[in-house]
Amino acid sequence: MVSSMVSIPGYDITKEIYNGSRTLVYRGYRETDSLPVVIKLLKNSYPSFSELLQFRNQYTIAKNLNSSAIVQTYSLEAYQNGYALVMEDFGGISLKDYFASYQTLDIGSLQEFLQIAIALCDALNILIHHRIIHKDIKPANILINPETKEVKLIDFSIASLLPRETQILMSPNVLEGTLGYLSPEQTGQSDRDQLAELNLLAGQKAKLSTAYTNAIEYICCGIQLLRTDSWQQQYSLTLALYEEAASAAYLMGQFDQVEEFVEQVQQHAKVLKDRVKSIEIQIQSYLAQSRFDDSIRTAIAPKLSNCYAVKPPFL
């Protein structure tokens, strides 16, 4: 687990403000300009692939929402085996804690109630304009500054970007978010396949333009949109997304992520030829790290040595 006495390069941490089952949140300052910030970390010292993808998802979706009704995200930075999400600090606390601490559960005045309600409507209007389903709007994910009464929405970790909705009944077992706060859209299966394909195409185009950061963000958004059984129901799309993700990660020098993406392909590929492209990317990654023994062992693995489109020089 991450220590409560956390040290993050470039930031002066002053206080832990949230300690949950999966994440930790700290308040502090950016050292370069003394800007007040809130930093969110994964609690798991060795997060799973899905945890990392979900964590990146909230940054990818929220970073373009330039609205006073949404907590602004400043950066997503590598931290230990995961990420640190750096956000604005406007002195807010959760609406849940505000009601509890300030004993305003009965709403002291109609004016205060309307101010909060209008602010939330403004936030929802921004999400609708950007075709975003938050999936977990609840008092714990709504912040309010006790002094100024400024209200902002947070936490886009399970949010989705959707162009349109097709209402097909889903099993309650696969719904995301908090059951008591589900939006109507979440009870229907959305047309995620098309959007995942669009993200794949956008990622491929960005990669060809050497915009590797944008490429990995598009592709990871596409992966996030896949269903839990995508390797069975959307095999070709899922394979293409993970292959492109491994390639983009390699081009960015994110070698740990290369291994994670390649591992997904190796676990789920149906036939040998579907494994080859990702293995070639893995070999290139090892060579870039001067891990020559690993590259050779990978290249001469049983049943692989005769399958390369371009043979490694040592074969």
pLDDT in the model for residue 260: 92
Strands ordered across the beta sheet of 23-30 = 11-19, 23-30, 35-42, 82-88, 73-79
Task: Identify any residues that bridge with 152 across adjacent strands, giving them in sequence order.
Answer: 143
Q: Render pLDDT for 155-194 as a digit per residue (tens, 0 to 9).
A: 988 888 765 444 444 444 445 555 445 554 554 445 567 7
pLDDT in the model for residue 165: 41
pLDDT in the model for residue 152: 95
Calculate ∠ Cα 219-224-226, nearest 5°: 100
Residue with tokens 């798991």: 44
Q: Report the 10 Å Cβ neighbour count for 133.
A: 22
pLDDT in the model for residue 170: 45
Query: Element (H or E) spanning 56, and its range?
Result: helix 49-62
Residue ranges in the chain whose pLDDT is less than 50? 1-3, 104-105, 164-174, 179-180, 184, 187-189, 302, 304-306, 308-311, 314-315
Angle between helices 273-288 and 255-268 (to 10 degrees): 160
Cα first-last separation, the chain: 43
What are the tokens at 216? 């990995």
